[in-house]
Amino acid sequence: MINYFAGVDIGSTMTKVVIYGEGIRAMIIGPTGPEHRKLANKVMEEALIQAHLKFEDLSYIIATGYGRINVPFADRQVTEITCHAKGLHSLLPTVKTVVDIGGQDSKGIKIKDGRVVSFVMNDKCAAGTGRFIEIMADSLGVPLNDMGRLSLTADKPAMISSTCTVFAEHEVTNQLSGGETLPNLVAGIHESVATRVASLVKKLNIEPDVAITGGGAKNIGLVKALEKKLGCPVLIPPEPLITGALGAAILAKEIFEKYTKEGQVPERSKSGLQEAKFFD
Amino acid sequence: MAEEKKGRAVATKTAASIPKFVRGNLAATLKAKEEGKKVAYAYIADGQDEIMRAMDIVPAWGESFAGVCAAKRDAEKYLQKAESDNFSRSLCTYATCTIGFDMVREELGGGAVPDAPWGGMGRPDMILGSAQLLCDPRFKWPQATQHYLRDVPVFVGSMYYPPFDPKMDHHEQEKFYVKYATEELRECVKFCEKHTGKKMDWDRLAQIVELSDRTWDLFIDTYELRKAFPTPMDTGDAMNTMVPLTFNLGTQEAYDFYKQLYDELQQKIANGEGVADPEKYRLIWAAGLPSWFALGDFQYFNSKGAVFPVEVTYRGCEKIERLELPKTNDPLEHIAWRWVRYWTHWYDKARKRPGSLPKVERIIEYIEEYKCDGVVFHSAFSCRSWHAGIIHQAETLKKVYREIPILILEGDIVDISSYNEADTHNRIDAFIEAVDSYKKRMN
């Protein structure tokens, strides 16, 4: 009999669910949205449908990410730092340094045998996060998904000197009016984010292999810029958005098996698959 | 308008008496005029405490007042006031908070400031600045203050200690630094004599210095009780109990406070009373001033079973016998030796461990003695002196000692705009998970 486990990662921008048995059985990625506290159960329902399982089939559930406390049916909450390390180690075991570029923060994590050795986070300024690129894409009228590809056609990335997102937006529109090409501007935007992220992660004393996760990993222009700033190649897992949810699911499995081995049953959440009631 | 904020509990009854202590210090500066006493703006850890006490000068501690403003979340009006006169937000916020307060007080005619937290500070008759190696803003802060208090005389002394060089024996150099520091203190006495119109009573000074030495000893004896399992007091309380040592050195009240704390901690140990129940993780607060507006974060650590039995911050003393001070009949020379040796007495140890530094050696010593599982630093952006070296210390610690979990919190001492509670707690959560994993691995 196979036991199934779930990891729910409620990030600031995207919500991810992974159901794990002897491998990934289902994964769902969707926007978090403003009502995310109420929607965790709906995302889980979708994942269960994809996995052809019932909620009762899940032996243990871990919630992670910024919204982790708002998942009433989760049996335990674990931070995204621990879950990213665990998930990434299962996908790319040689990686010692993880760079996660999310919607509203960026992080660096040093890992050893799947465990966190140290970490750094940028959560005070949008300039080193995916949000910076989103705002600039909006300003330039370029679809977010086209930013990476467009930047690869640049001949000379523009210099974006402002570190504040609001001022940088103004600077970008000024340069556009001054005749700078769109590819050069987009490449400059990626270099600006990569510079901020690299200076954050370098505090960790980077060791290869280095991997990138989060929405930033889906932007090839940003990945190339980051490789340049870090001075080493950067690995990308097959689906860079789910490493946190995957790590949470694997951790759920490990905790469950540890208890079982000791002849015990881990304590479960008493809430079933229901929405959080915080705002009612 | 000050933000409403829940009160913060402290673990010891003695620590709970600290607000009265701080209010008393502030009130003394306002009452001084009626009592015919002189008030001096003073700066912590400057070696001038005993001189002021011996000459009945009432110290007004800007660093304490700024901390009170921050703790009451009522500093913004003073920070903005200073900013309106072109003081950058990136400057020391202790300095800008008190300069902003000075500006407000001068606009009101120099008397009491009605809405100042805990009554504010009285207008000084002199400014006794002291820069030291540990705080570069204190070279300019007194001078900047004088810009608004034109009639107030300023003295800025400085007491140095030999810089650490692993290839150099500092023992040969110490005496030159002591000679320099002694002369600086002598100049301070002359300055105080001139502006108080009184002569220094050298016998009284010697008695006060002797009382300070006993307070240093008692402080360390008391704090070393925290090695117990579970620890009876953690850094959350120590950020309060540092007040008598830091702001009331050379007074009987300070000595009596630590006697009371010593007795209470002994009782707690006898009863097996700890700060966290159960105590799961022991951490060291390895460097950095705290965010005074977020002291409740220590309780957040406690809620996770984490306690701080030891901290580097505000542990500005050592057992006198461990410093092996040369004998002297000159109380100023004694203060100078005490100051220099306080810093250099980790140098020999640091030299023995290749690649180490005295500050790192001190952290290692505390980790070993207090059995710590993790290290927390606080990088306060406006406190350059500490902020700048923290990553280097953390890296060196890992290199010369071991791969112990380290958390570097980021914020400020006074400026609350630097702080986000949810993100800070998220970092603490992740760190506790790393410490838990580390402990399991080590076991």
A81 in contact with chain B, both atoms CB, cutoff 8 A: yes
Residue spans per domain, chain B:
17-442
Q: Please state the rounded mean pLDDT for residues A167-188.
A: 88
Q: Please state the rounded mean pLDDT for residues B380-392.
A: 87
A79 in contact with chain B, both atoms CB, cutoff 8 A: yes
B6 pLDDT higher than 70: no
- Give the span between the Cα atoms of A195 and B349, in whole angstroms: 39
pLDDT digits (tens, 9 = 90+) for A34-91: 666 667 888 899 999 999 999 999 999 999 998 898 888 999 999 999 999 999 999 9
Type of residue found at A15 = T
% of chain A beyond a pLDDT of 90: 61
Crossing angle between the packed helical segments B358-370 and B390-400, to the nearest 10 degrees: 60
Question: B426 and A203: CB-CB below 8 Å?
Answer: no
User: How many CA atoms, within 13 angstroms, populate the side-chain half-sphere of residue A163?
Assistant: 8
**What CATH number does the domain located at A4-83+242-261 have?**
3.30.420.40
pLDDT digits (tens, 9 = 90+) for B69-105: 999 999 999 999 999 999 998 899 999 999 999 999 9
Crossing angle between the packed helical segments B171-196 and B331-344, to the nearest 10 degrees: 140
Chain A CA closest to residue B441: A115
B430 in contact with chain A, both atoms CB, cutoff 8 A: yes
Q: Sorting pLDDT into bands at 50, 70 and 90, what band is A32?
A: confident
Question: B430 and A82: CB-CB below 8 Å?
Answer: yes
Q: Residue B7: its pLDDT value, please?
A: 47
pLDDT digits (tens, 9 = 90+) for B415-433: 998 888 988 999 999 999 9
Percent composition of chain A: helix, strand, coil (DSSP 3-state, to 5)? 45, 20, 35
Of B373, B385, B377, the residue nearest B441 (C-alpha): B373
Mutant choice from B433, B440, B443 vs A, greatest count of A C-beta within 10 A: B433
- Per the model's pLDDT, the better-predicted residue between B375 and B134 turns out to be B375
Q: Sorting pLDDT into bands at 50, 70 and 90, what band is B3?
A: very low
B64 pLDDT higher than 50: yes
Which candidate from A105, A119, A205 shows the least CB-CB separation from B430? A119
- Per the model's pLDDT, the better-predicted residue between B352 and A127 turns out to be B352
Q: Please state the rounded mean pLDDT for residues B20-38.
A: 94
Contacts of A121 in chain B (CB under 8 A): 423, 426-427
Q: Residue B8: its pLDDT value, please?
A: 52
Mutant choice from B437, B439, B441 vs A, greatest count of A C-beta within 10 A: B437
Q: Residue B366: its pLDDT value, please?
A: 98
A194 pLDDT higher than 60: yes
- Per the model's pLDDT, the better-predicted residue between B6 and A162 turns out to be A162
Q: Residue B10: its pLDDT value, please?
A: 67
Q: Please state the rounded mean pLDDT for residues B220-224.
A: 98
Name B34's Cβ contacts closer than 8 Å, sequence gap at least 6.
none
Distance between alpha carbon A230 and the CA centroid of its chain, in Å?
19
Q: Please state the rounded mean pLDDT for residues A18-37.
A: 86
Does A94-235 match A4-83+242-261 at the fold level? yes
B429 in contact with chain A, both atoms CB, cutoff 8 A: yes
Question: A117 and B434: CB-CB below 8 Å?
Answer: yes
- Give the span between the Cα atoms of B41 and B122, in whole angstroms: 9
pLDDT digits (tens, 9 = 90+) for B324-376: 999 999 999 999 999 999 999 999 999 999 999 999 999 999 999 999 999 99
Of B54, B84, B18, the residue nearest B201 (C-alpha): B54
Question: B433 and A203: CB-CB below 8 Å?
Answer: no
Which candidate from A82, A121, A124 shows the least CB-CB separation from B433? A82
Type of residue found at B238 = A
- Per the model's pLDDT, the better-predicted residue between A32 and A78 turns out to be A78
Q: What is the mean pLDDT of chain B?
A: 94
B395 in contact with chain A, both atoms CB, cutoff 8 A: yes
A106 in contact with chain B, both atoms CB, cutoff 8 A: no
Q: Please state the rounded mean pLDDT for residues B164-182.
A: 94
Can you give A234-269 as a three-state secondary structure string? EECCCCCCCHHHHHHHHHHHHHHHHHHHCCCCCCCC
A66 in contact with chain B, both atoms CB, cutoff 8 A: yes
Question: A118 and B405: CB-CB below 8 Å?
Answer: yes
Task: Write the Ramachandran bin of A214: left for phi over 0, alpha for psi from -120 to 50, otherwise beta.
Answer: left
How close B321 gets to chain A, by Cα (Å)?
Answer: 39
A245 pLDDT higher than 50: yes
Question: A121 and B427: CB-CB below 8 Å?
Answer: yes
Chain B CA closest to residue A111: B434
Which candidate from B408, B422, B426 shows the least CB-CB separation from A79? B426
Q: Residue B4: its pLDDT value, please?
A: 42
Contacts of A126 in chain B (CB under 8 A): none
pLDDT digits (tens, 9 = 90+) for B287-314: 999 999 999 999 999 999 999 999 999 9
Contacts of A112 in chain B (CB under 8 A): 403
Q: Residue B5: its pLDDT value, please?
A: 46
Contacts of A63 in chain B (CB under 8 A): none
Q: Residue A37: its pLDDT value, please?
A: 61
Distance between alpha carbon B158 and the CA centroid of its chain, in Å?
17
How close A107 gets to chain B, by Cα (Å)?
Answer: 11
How close B406 gets to chain A, by Cα (Å)?
Answer: 7
Choose the weakest-confidence range: A162-176, A190-204, B243-257.
A162-176
Backbone angles phi, psi at B258, to 5 degrees: -70, -30
Q: Residue B429: its pLDDT value, please?
A: 96
Q: Residue B61: its pLDDT value, please?
A: 97
Chain B CA closest to residue A119: B407
Question: B434 and A81: CB-CB below 8 Å?
Answer: yes
Q: Which CATH class is domain A94-235?
A: alpha beta
Question: B423 and A123: CB-CB below 8 Å?
Answer: yes
Residue spans per domain, chain A:
4-83+242-261, 94-235
Which candidate from B391, B408, B430 shows the least CB-CB separation from A79? B430
B421 in contact with chain A, both atoms CB, cutoff 8 A: no
pLDDT digits (tens, 9 = 90+) for A249-279: 999 999 999 999 999 989 999 888 876 555 4
